[in-house]
Amino acid sequence: MQQSLVILGASGSIGQSTLKVLRHNPSSWHVLALTAARNVDAMLRDCLEFSPRFAVMVDEDAARALAAGLKTHGSATQVMAGVDALCDVAAHPDAHSVMAAIVGAAGLAPTMAAVRAGKRILLANKEALVMSGAFFMEAVREHGAELLPIDSEHNAIFQCLPTEVQRQPGFCDLAAAGVSKILLTGSGGPFRYTEISELGKVTPAQAIAHPNWSMGAKISVDSATMINKGLEYIEARWLFNAAPEQIQVVIHPQSVIHSMVQYKDGSVLAQLGNPDMCTPIAHALAYPARISSSVEPLDFFTVGEFSFIRPDYARYPNLALAINACQQGQAATTALNAANEEAVAAFLSTRIGFMDISRINEAVMLAFESSAVGSLDDLLVLDEMARERAHHLIKELG
């Protein structure tokens, strides 16, 4: 029987890779809903191809334009607008799985709606988990939702863990399962060999040009500063119930080993493959079965050699900040995530320099790391205050 899928963030890089995997497996899934912020052309094209029952645009004008476009083609897709509509489709009773692929904190509300409706959630939107941590995981447990990681590292770790741990990884006991360490690999981004003194001058175009992965603009800049690995460190902490000392970051420039799990008997299990998000997407869509993903098989003779480097925090101050935030607790990680979203947006629009991103992140994190957070609402207030502080600092620097 076909399973029905909601794709939050369908017009983005992960959303498009998801549609690519579906094209390879046309009989297995039915698209119940596609959503995007405002990209009408992409949504019109994809709605005509996949005929979802619902299409949601966050922007009202974009929703009107999409509805008009669909009408001229005689499409039966129902168009809705706004954040409430995103949450409605994410929690729709007919949805079996929800691909959570909105970028940033904006993904929290619809992803939480899917969690509260007890869905199978394919989680790409790491910022939602970073900013809400234990509250998110508690909701997963309370509502019996199922979390399958899409982030390639976490998907790799998941695949290297024992089956009984895979059933509820967020509440597992890694040590009891024989795990001594999670080895989180990262490429080091486009500036891993750039002189540190030159980093202040790099442009958004240079930062977005990732050597191995093709991704959205925000995560590409995050990969260049390596805060992406730091957010993934926090993500691993929650997804696998890992203590900070159980996670180690390893730079692996070839991006072929997507992460590893070290066991106490000395074994290290790794998941490898060509760097293409269609693999983790196909894995999570079909789990525990295996389906075709369109990704070329890995050719070891082309790869040739693997190398590993210890991260240098002078080059990647943002990575150190995120690891620190993980140790500090929820207020620090929420503030850091919010500051980073604002700082990256300011860098992309050339209002600040590349190294200013970590300066802003550090100042905002320091200002809010001791805030009390007793509920999800407290976190949303903190997120807002951290963004305001970041805006203020961006203005001062700009």
Query: 247: which 2 tokens?
Result: 């996670």
Instruction: Decide if residue 101 touches ligand NAD (CB under 6 A).
Output: yes
CB of 128 vs Mg ion, minimal distance in Å: 15
Closest Cα partner for 309 from 226, 249, 268? 249
Contact predicate 35/7, CB 8 Å: yes
CB of 15 vs ligand NAD, minimal distance in Å: 5
Cis amide prior to 288 (ω within 30 degrees)? yes
Question: Would you call 25 helix, strand, or coil by DSSP?
Answer: coil
Sole binder of ligand NAD in the list 5, 14, 33, 137 (CB under 6 A): 14
Q: Is 342 flagged in the annotation as binding? A: no
User: Which residues are paired to 56 by β-bridges?
Assistant: 35, 80
Q: Is 13 flagged in the annotation as binding? A: yes
Instruction: Decide if residue 9 touches ligand NAD (CB under 6 A).
Output: yes
Please state whether 21 falls in left (phi above 0), alpha (psi between -120 and 50) or beta: alpha
CB of 229 vs ligand NAD, minimal distance in Å: 11
Nearer CB in complex with Mg ion: 151/356:
151
Query: 100: which 2 tokens?
Result: 């959570």
Q: Which does 336 bind (CB under 5 to 8 A by kind): Mg ion, ligand NAD, none?
A: none
Q: Which does 46 bind (CB under 5 to 8 A by kind): ligand NAD, Mg ion, none?
A: none
Binding mask 24-53 for ligand NAD (x = CB under 6 A): ------------xx-x--------------
Q: Is 274 flagged in the annotation as binding? A: no
Q: Is 210 flagged in the annotation as binding? A: yes
Q: Which does 11 bind (CB under 5 to 8 A by kind): ligand NAD, Mg ion, none?
A: ligand NAD
Contact predicate 37/127, CB 8 Å: no
Instruction: Decide if residue 12 touches ligand NAD (CB under 6 A).
Output: yes
Q: Is 337 flagged in the annotation as binding? A: no
- Rounded Cα gap, residues 184 and 197, in angstroms: 27
Q: HSE-up of 17 (CA within 13 Å, CB side)? A: 26
Contact predicate 7/15, CB 8 Å: yes
- Helix (H), strand (E) counts: the chain: 17, 11
What is the gyration radius of the CA atoms in the chain, in angstroms?
20
Instruction: Decide if residue 190 touches ligand NAD (CB under 6 A).
Output: no
CB of 36 vs ligand NAD, minimal distance in Å: 4
- Rounded Cα gap, residues 243 and 388, in angstroms: 31
- Rounded Cα gap, residues 239 and 161, in angstroms: 12
Task: Round to the nearest angstrom and report the end-to-end CA distance of the chain.
Answer: 56
CB of 258 vs ligand NAD, minimal distance in Å: 11
Strands 257-263 and 179-186: antiparallel
58: which residues sit within 8 A by CB, 6+ positions away? 35, 36, 37, 38, 81, 82, 83, 86, 106
Q: Is 38 flagged in the annotation as binding? A: yes
CB of 194 vs ligand NAD, minimal distance in Å: 22
- Rounded Cα gap, residues 74 and 76, in angstroms: 7
Sole binder of ligand NAD in the list 99, 106, 114, 256 (CB under 6 A): 106
In the region spanning residues 124 to 153, those forming contacts with ligand NAD, defined by CB under 6 A, are: 124-127, 151
Instruction: Decide if residue 58 touches ligand NAD (CB under 6 A).
Output: yes
DSSP state of 295: P
Q: Which does 106 bind (CB under 5 to 8 A by kind): Mg ion, ligand NAD, none?
A: ligand NAD
User: Which residues are paired to 57 by β-bridges?
Assistant: 36, 81
Binding mask 133-162 for Mg ion (x = CB under 5 A): ------------------xxx---------
| Nearest residue to ligand NAD on Cβ basis | 12
Region near ligand NAD per CB under 6 A, out of 215-223, 261-269, 293-301, 361-369: 215-223
Instruction: Decide if residue 92 touches ligand NAD (CB under 6 A).
Output: no
Binding residues for Mn(2+): 151, 153, 232
Residues that bind Mg ion (CB under 5 A): 151-153
Binding residues for 1-deoxy-D-xylulose 5-phosphate: 126, 152-153, 187, 210, 223, 228-229, 232
Binding residues: 12-14, 37-39, 125-127, 151-153, 187, 210, 216, 223, 228-229, 232
